[in-house]
Structure 1
Amino acid sequence: MIRALLVLFLPVVIAQSVSPGAIASQYQLGSSTSLPFPTATLSATAASSYLGTSGWQITKNGSISQKDDVSFANDPFATSNSAPVFTVDYPTGSYSEGTGGTEFSTYFNNSGTPFGTVLLSYEVAFDTNFDWVKGGKLPGLRGGSLSDCSGGVYSSSCFSMRLMWRAEGAGEAYAYMPAPFSLCSRSNVLCNQEGYGTSLSRGSFSFVSGAWNNISLLVQLNNPVRASNGLVYVYHNGVLAVQFTGLQIRLDSSVTGFTGLFFSGRRDIRYPTDQHTYFRNIQMWGSTAFSSSSSAASSIRAASFRVTATLAFIVANAMVFISLL
């Protein structure tokens, strides 16, 4: 008896890692900046003063919330001598507002010409054995009014796009932007969860504790405003993890550029132990190019979008918005 043995050779796909600089080059993002860090550790009081005077260009009259919960500390996961890292404390029993975390904003582009595309890159680390609880927010980008598009408040005068960790470290992009049925019906999208923002590709990557995670967030605004041709890409450790195109990120022509980098925990989370997140190598690239992809005009109208603020806020600068609440 002759037996035939069938051997199948299946191709192995290895994800290609790409550096933030390579992404910036691919999208021809000619303007760039890196936020400065001190050469020595700084206590909470000294850290707040440094943030206001070092070139981070804090906006909102220099306002930094929860000043006692930020500092510059030694890198807990350094493999060699390194500069201090920006440290955010979540004290035992803290919620996202009032205790734990921080919030502030800082501009990037002061040219007076709005950016249509921005890449934000940073490294984030979590304490070893970090308790993820239900989730927390990480730096991202925003545009338009600084008063809305977070905390469950939608508005046509702004947008925001942040990162979040969820239970067990699951990662996602987290958006406040128009959410039509065509977007919300996708299997990898969760809209208006518990009255808050939209989750994009939850669990498509995972944060690890006790080590540095590199994040790159690329956002290109739709143009014109009624078109659905914007894009959002998230790279985790250089690997593309979140990819969305055909988005209507901004709804109103008053939103002419970018405004934000955002750290924040959810309102319903109580941290069981004192915990920390750490940040270093915060960089941004930008260009005046808006999306030029062809797209049918969106059918979304301002009346169908839940608007809570009617005052138009014209943004001519790109800004980093840091919120750790």
Structure 2
Amino acid sequence: MAIFLLPLILSPILAIAQTVPQTASPPDIVSQYSLTTSTSIPFPTATTTNDDTQSFIKDNWSLSKGRIQNGRENLDFVDDPFPDSPTPASWDSSAPKGPVLRVTYPEGAFGSADSGAQFYSLWNTTDGSQFHSMLVTYEVALDANFTFVKGGKLPGLRGGPQPDGCSGGNAANGTNCFSSRLMWRTGGAGEVYGYFPNDDSKAICSQSSVICNSDGFGTSLSRGNFHFQAAHWHRVTMLVRLNDPLKSANGQITIYFNGALAANYEDIQYRSSDVINIGGLYFSTFFGGDDSSWAPSGTTHAYFRNFELWGAAAASNLTTSPAQLSATPLSSPAQWLFGIVAAIGGSFIGMIL
């Protein structure tokens, strides 16, 4: 009897496991989710001064309100400081090898107003297209002497009619905006840091891998499932699919770090109104934190290159919310599947044997 019932137990688990591959390149994800429109963020062919860097970004990156919001003085296009660091999880060896964007974090500075840089790069604003699914991928490296202190932000995606909300403690309410960035934490531990509506009634807040803040700040997801290292290039790939229908909790965020699945959540409510779509790249990086204990003790830098985005009008069509996937640390597929089988099927198999 147990032999005949075992496939019935395993088949839905295997179906879930096959939904999100354990390793994938951006083109694999693009194909899986039918993200048919794409763009690349342009970089100059030569290094530039700070003034020329500002002008290049303003002229070529389709900035919200036509401006760099914060930290324009902390931006420069420079030579790659780690030319011997292999490109992580690269799928295209023809990617340009020109300058990289350096962001400066001044000694003792914290918060988006004083540390790093922040701006919003819009996409497809001229033809009226609206994206409800989007993937962004980029590469990031940190100085050899980079000290992580308590944490800091790294770029992601955002959307909604309020381009300045959903960060810095300005809460998401489902009708104003959302944002989804990465963070580094102490020791280089990585996480997803999202602004979307949550309270104690949301199922996602009950998960062990999720920290929901009730004070208007963002939600921490999968902290420590991946790690940043100094003096190494890393590839970050983030997929966001908004919930559909409205007010449902079937929105998705998936993170691949150096090509390996680092986080997957399929039970997020980003919006309760159709005014929320995905606008584009949220270039937001700084130390902080709300006090000086987050600040670096010396001036340090991060470097960025190869920003690419793909999008589609279709939102999430998920009908289930496999919350157990989100709390699983990076491991081999066999270990990952065995853990799910043990947790879900083990006791039942024991009874029927």
Query: How far apart, CA to CA, are the structure 2 residues paired with 1:74 and 1:65?
Result: 23
Structure 1: gaps of 5 or more residues? 1-14, 297-325
Deviations for 1:191-222, whole angstroms, at most 9, x for unmatched residues?
A: 11775210001001111111101000000000
The number of aligned residues is: 281
Query: How far apart, CA to CA, are the structure 2 residues paired with 1:28 and 1:93?
Result: 45
Query: How far apart, CA to CA, are the structure 2 residues paired with 1:259 and 1:280?
Result: 16
Residue 159 (1) aligns with residue 178 (2): yes
Query: How far apart, CA to CA, are the structure 2 residues paired with 1:290 and 1:282?
Result: 22
Contact 2:34 2:312 in 1 (8 A): yes
CA drift of 1:23 comes to: 1.2
Structure 2: gaps of 5 or more residues? 1-20, 86-95, 322-353
Seen in structure 2, the aligned counterparts of structure 1 residues 16 and 155 have a Cα distance that, compared at 3 Å, is: closer
Query: How far apart, CA to CA, are the structure 2 residues paired with 1:21 and 1:194?
Result: 38
Aligned partner of 1:116 among 120, 127, 132 = 132
Query: How far apart, CA to CA, are the structure 2 residues paired with 1:230 and 1:194?
Result: 22
**Residue type matched to 1:291 in 2?**
S
User: For residue 189 of structure 2, what is the aligned residue in structure 1?
Assistant: 170
**Residue type matched to 2:65 in 1?**
K
**Residue type matched to 2:100 in 1?**
V
Residue 143 (1) aligns with residue 159 (2): yes
Query: How far apart, CA to CA, are the structure 2 residues paired with 1:16 and 1:106?
Result: 30
Query: How far apart, CA to CA, are the structure 1 residues paired with 2:22 and 2:198?
Result: 31
CA drift of 1:96 comes to: 1.9
Query: How far apart, CA to CA, are the structure 2 residues paired with 1:209 and 1:193?
Result: 33
Q: Return structure 1 stretches of 4+ with deviation > 4 angstroms.
A: none
Deviations for 1:228-260, whole angstroms, at most 9, x for unmatched residues?
A: 111100000000100101211113222133344
User: For residue 214 of structure 1, what is the aligned residue in structure 2?
Assistant: 235
**TM norm structure 2:** 0.75
Identical residues among aligned pairs (%)? 42
User: For residue 3 of structure 2, what is the aligned residue in structure 1?
Assistant: none
Deviations for 1:114-139, whole angstroms, at most 9, x for unmatched residues?
A: 11110000000001131000001011
**Residue type matched to 1:49 in 2?**
S
Aligned partner of 1:128 among 144, 148, 173 = 144
1:8-87 matches, cutoff 5 A: 17-53=23-59, 55-79=60-84, 82-87=97-102
**Residue type matched to 1:83 in 2?**
G
Query: How far apart, CA to CA, are the structure 1 residues paired with 2:112 and 2:282?
Result: 18
CA drift of 1:64 comes to: 4.1
Aligned partner of 2:284 among 255, 258, 263 = 263
Aligned partner of 2:108 among 93, 101, 104 = 93
CA drift of 1:91 comes to: 1.3
CA drift of 1:16 comes to: 5.0
Seen in structure 2, the aligned counterparts of structure 1 residues 195 and 143 have a Cα distance that, compared at 3 Å, is: closer
Which secondary structure state, in structure 1, belongs to the residue aligned with residue 282 of structure 2?
Answer: coil
User: For residue 276 of structure 1, what is the aligned residue in structure 2?
Assistant: 301
User: For residue 225 of structure 2, what is the aligned residue in structure 1?
Assistant: 204
Aligned partner of 2:314 among 289, 295, 305 = 289
Query: How far apart, CA to CA, are the structure 2 residues paired with 1:209 and 1:39?
Result: 26
Contact 2:119 2:284 in 1 (8 A): no
Query: How far apart, CA to CA, are the structure 1 residues paired with 2:22 and 2:38?
Result: 24
CA drift of 1:293 comes to: 2.1
CA drift of 1:295 comes to: 6.0
Contact 1:48 1:64 in 2 (8 A): no
CA drift of 1:262 comes to: 3.2
1:183-198 matches, cutoff 5 A: 183-192=204-213, 196-198=217-219
Which secondary structure state, in structure 2, belongs to the residue aligned with residue 124 of structure 1?
Answer: strand
Deviations for 1:265-324, whole angstroms, at most 9, x for unmatched residues?
A: 31332111110000000000001111122369xxxxxxxxxxxxxxxxxxxxxxxxxxxx
Query: How far apart, CA to CA, are the structure 2 residues paired with 1:175 and 1:105?
Result: 16
Contact 1:228 1:247 in 2 (8 A): yes
CA drift of 1:52 comes to: 1.2
Contact 1:137 1:262 in 2 (8 A): no
**Residue type matched to 2:123 in 1?**
F
Which secondary structure state, in structure 2, belongs to the residue aligned with residue 28 of structure 1?
Answer: coil
Deviations for 1:147-191, whole angstroms, at most 9, x for unmatched residues?
A: 211001113211111111100000010011012431111100001
Contact 2:70 2:118 in 1 (8 A): yes
CA drift of 1:79 comes to: 2.9
